[in-house]
Amino acid sequence: MADQAIDFEFDGSLKAYTAVVLPGFILTVATLGLYRFWNTTRIRRYLWSRTIFMGDRLEWTGTGRELFLGALAALILVLVPISLANFAIRQIALHGYRWVAVALSVAELLVFYALVGAAVMRALRYRLSRTQWRGIRGGSVDPGVRFGLAYAWKNALAMVTLGIALPWAMVSLWNQRWRAMSFGSLQFSAHGRARGLGLPFLLCYLAPVIAIGMVALLIWSGMTLTYFGYEPRTPLEWILIRLPAAFAFLFVIALIMTAYYASFFRQMVSNMALGGMRFRFNASAIDWMELFLGDVLLMVVTLGLGSMFLSYRHWTFHIRFFQIDGQIDTDDLNQSTTPAPAQGEGLLDAFDMGAL
C-alpha cells in the first residue's frame, strides 16, 4: 500500500461537550476548585472518545483521583520546600550576606527549572500512559530526571546567550522528550532541526525593539487626542484613549511570537514518526492566532466562564491540523511494556502549566 493519509476524525459536538462539562464546572465552583481534577478527567474522556483513528476511538483511562494525588504530592514535596528555601534565602539576604543569597537564588532557579523540565516530561508520559487505542497504551521508561537536568542547563544557556540559543534549546528538548516516548511496542522518533527557524526567531528577537516603538505610539496616541483638545478627566478615560494602541501593540507582539511558535511546532511534528507513520501539522501562524484570539475573546465576553470550552477548542484545533502519512500494522502493534505511572501530572499542575 502506498502512503496514504490516515487521519484522526472528530465526531463530537459543542452541545454534547457542554452537557459533559457544565455540570462538572458547577461542581468545581461549589467545591472551591477541588473538583477540577475530576472534571478534567471527564473532559478528556469525552474528547478522547470522540476522536477516531482507523475506525476505533481513543480512550482516556486516567482518573480524577490520580490527578488529585499528583497535585497533592507536588504541593507537599516541591512547593513547600521551595517556599521554605525562598524564606531562608531572604533571611540570609536580610542579614547582610547578599552574595551568598544571590548564589543560592541562582542555584534555586536551576533546581526549579530542572523540576519544571521533569514535570513536562512526566506529564507527557502520564498522558500517553492513559491514552488507549484498541486496548494499547503509550508510555515511557524514562523517569524524566535526565530530561529535567537538560531542561535546566539548556534554558540557562538560552538565557546566558540572551535568547540566541533558545530555538536550539527548544528543538533539542522536544526531540529528547519525544524519543523517550512510545506507544505500545513502537518507539517515537523525533528528528526536528533548528534550521529554518532562524528567520521567525529573528523577528521574535526584534520584538522588544518593536515593542519599544509601540509603547511610544501608545503614549503618543493619548497625546494626539490631548493636542486636539480632549483632556482625560478620569483614569478610565486616560486608559480608554490609549486602548486602541494597546491592542495594536499586543496584537503585533502576539503575531510575531505566534509565527515563530507555528513554524516551530510544524517543523517538530513533521519530523516525528511512529512505526510506519509520519506526522504533519499544517496550522499556519494565522490559524494559531485565530485560536488564541478566539480564546481571549471567549474569556472576555463570558467573563472567564468560557474557560471551560478552551479544552474543546484546543483539542479540535490539534485534530484538525494533525495529519498522518504511511500506515500502521495493527497486528504488529503490541502492548506497551513501560511502567504505568501511579500519579497524574501533579508537578506540572503545581507549576500551573497543565495546558489541556
Partner 1 sequence: MTEPLPEPPTEPLSGDPRTDSAGVCPAEVFDGASARRHGVMVRGDAAALIIDGPDAIAATVAWSAIERIDTWPDAILLGRSGRPGWRLKLPLDAPAAILDRLPRQPRFGRLIDRFGYFKSLACLALASSLIVAAVIKAPGWLAPHIPTAWENGMSDDAVGDLAENTCHTPASDAALASLVARLDRDAAAQHLPPVHVELLKLDLVNAVALPGGRVLVFDGLLHQIRSPDALAGVIGHEIGHVRLHHVMQAVLRQYGLSLLLGGYRSNVTSAMGQMTALRFTREAETDADSWSRARLAAANLSPLPTAGFLASLESENGGPQMGIAAYLDSHPDPFARALAFRAVFDPSRAYDQALDRNAWSAIVNACADDVKAKPWTPFFG
19, 94, 160, 250: which one contacts partner 1 (CB under 8 A)? 94
HSE-up of residue 338 (Cα within 13 Å, Cβ side): 25
Copy the grid coordinates of residue 273.
514518526
Nearest to 278 by CA among 2, 57, 78, 3: 3
Torsion of CA 36, 37, 42, 48, to 10 degrees: 120
Instruction: List, in order, residues 6 or more apart from 63 with CB less than 8 Å away.
Output: 41
- Select the span of 33-41, 165-173, 285-293, 318-326 touching partner 1 (CB under 8 A): 33-41
288 to 282, 303, 318: CA distances (angstroms): 10, 22, 10
Distance of CA 33 to the CA centre of its chain: 21
Q: Is 33 a residue that touches partner 1 (CB under 8 A)? A: yes
CA 41/CA 333 separation, integer angstroms: 26
161, 215, 307, 342: which one contacts partner 1 (CB under 8 A)? 307
Per-residue contact track with partner 1, 231 to 270, x per CB under 8 A? --xxx--x--------------------------------
84, 330, 353, 356: which one contacts partner 1 (CB under 8 A)? 330
Residue type, 291: L
- The interface with partner 1 within residues 110-139 (CB under 8 A) comprises 132-137
- Select the span of 118-126, 228-236, 250-258, 317-325 touching partner 1 (CB under 8 A): 228-236
90, 95, 98, 191: which one contacts partner 1 (CB under 8 A)? 90
Q: How far is the CB of 105 from partner 1 (least distance, A)?
A: 15
Copy the grid coordinates of residue 46.
469525552
**Alpha-carbon Rg of the chain, whole angstroms?**
23
Q: How far is the CB of 135 from partner 1 (least distance, A)?
A: 3
1, 2, 5, 32: which one contacts partner 1 (CB under 8 A)? 32
Q: Alpha helices, DSSP H only, in 180-302?
A: 198-227, 235-270, 285-301
Q: Is 331 a residue that touches partner 1 (CB under 8 A)? A: yes
Contact set with partner 1 (CB under 8 A): 11, 23-24, 26-36, 38, 42, 45, 49-50, 56-57, 59, 64, 71, 75, 90, 94, 132-137, 184, 233-235, 238, 299, 304-305, 307, 330-331, 333-335, 340, 352
